[in-house]
A and B are shown apart, each in its own frame.
Chain A
Amino acid sequence: LAKTTQPISMDSYEGQEVNITCSHNNIATNDYITWYQQFPSQGPRFIIQGYKTKVTNEVASLFIPADRKSSTLSLPRVSLSDTAVYYCLVGDEDDYKLSFGAGTTVTVRA
């Protein structure tokens, strides 16, 4: 599995856009990029997944440059309830396990 590197923590304010960049220099051709969100004392929640370019859903956008060595999760207009740990995962669809790193703790302040 490709190793990922993401910031340990980020602070933001309500209404701002939060961008979390994940580095995955050793990403393989068949690897997908997936992001999960976890609130305290809850299980992680799938946010978004992509392979290349840009993916958008009702929660977030995922930007992936052409070389795919990094990706950026964008959370538009965050609210206090977006305070959570965000995990970036990289792996092949044939992988049957998720490998979570330390994640990025995002704190949204009023």
Chain B
Amino acid sequence: KAGVTQTPRYLIKTRGQQVTLSCSPISGHRSVSWYQQTPGQGLQFLFEYFSETQRNKGNFPGRFSGRQFSNSRSEMNVSTLELGDSALYLCASSSGLERYEQYFGPGTRLTVT
């Protein structure tokens, strides 16, 4: 069974621009979560979607948004990029039955200049 895939793997954007990251969960998984990882703050939860509905949200500004499609694929959008948004963005999927057993993708490395 294929794992979680994320595209693109690397991205360089300029401050003020917006960016969209994509995540394809493991086949059959209905829950997709997004995390941001930085050296200073570690791994932080952004939000989680289940059956196209946002079920939970972390403490991030409204510039960070997401959505989930009917095929469970998910996208994350960051608008008005700031230098501090440079990070590894990780997507994780789970069946939704055992929420603590999540399967992470390789991440998208975003650099904001």
List the interface of chain A (C-beta within 8 A of B): 32, 34, 41-46, 49, 87, 89, 91, 93-103
Contact = CB atoms under 8 A, between A and B. Distances in A.
A43 B107 contact: yes
Contact of A46 (B33, B88, B101, B105): B101
Given A97-B56, A100-B42, A43 B90 contact: yes
A98 B33 contact: yes
Chain A residues touching B, majority SS: loop
A10 B70 CA distance: 44
A41 B107 contact: yes
Interface string B81-111: 0000000101110000011111111110100
Given A95-B99, A100-B44, 7 more contacts: A34-B100, A41-B88, A43-B90, A46-B101, A98-B33, A98-B35, A100-B43
A105 to B, nearest CB: 12
A102 B44 CA distance: 11
A103 B37 CA distance: 13
A94 B56 CA distance: 11
The 10 nearest A-B residue pairs measured at CB:
A43-B104, A100-B43, A96-B56, A97-B45, A34-B100, A96-B48, A43-B90, A96-B55, A46-B101, A97-B56
A42 B107 CA distance: 7
Interface of B: 4, 31, 33, 35, 42-45, 48, 50, 55-56, 58, 88, 90-92, 98-107, 109
Contacts of A102: 42
Contact of A93 (B45, B100, B105, B106): B100
Given A43-B107, A44-B104, A99 B45 contact: yes
Given A97-B33, A97-B58, A46 B102 contact: yes
A97 B48 contact: yes
Given A43-B90, A43-B92, A102-B42, A96 B106 contact: no
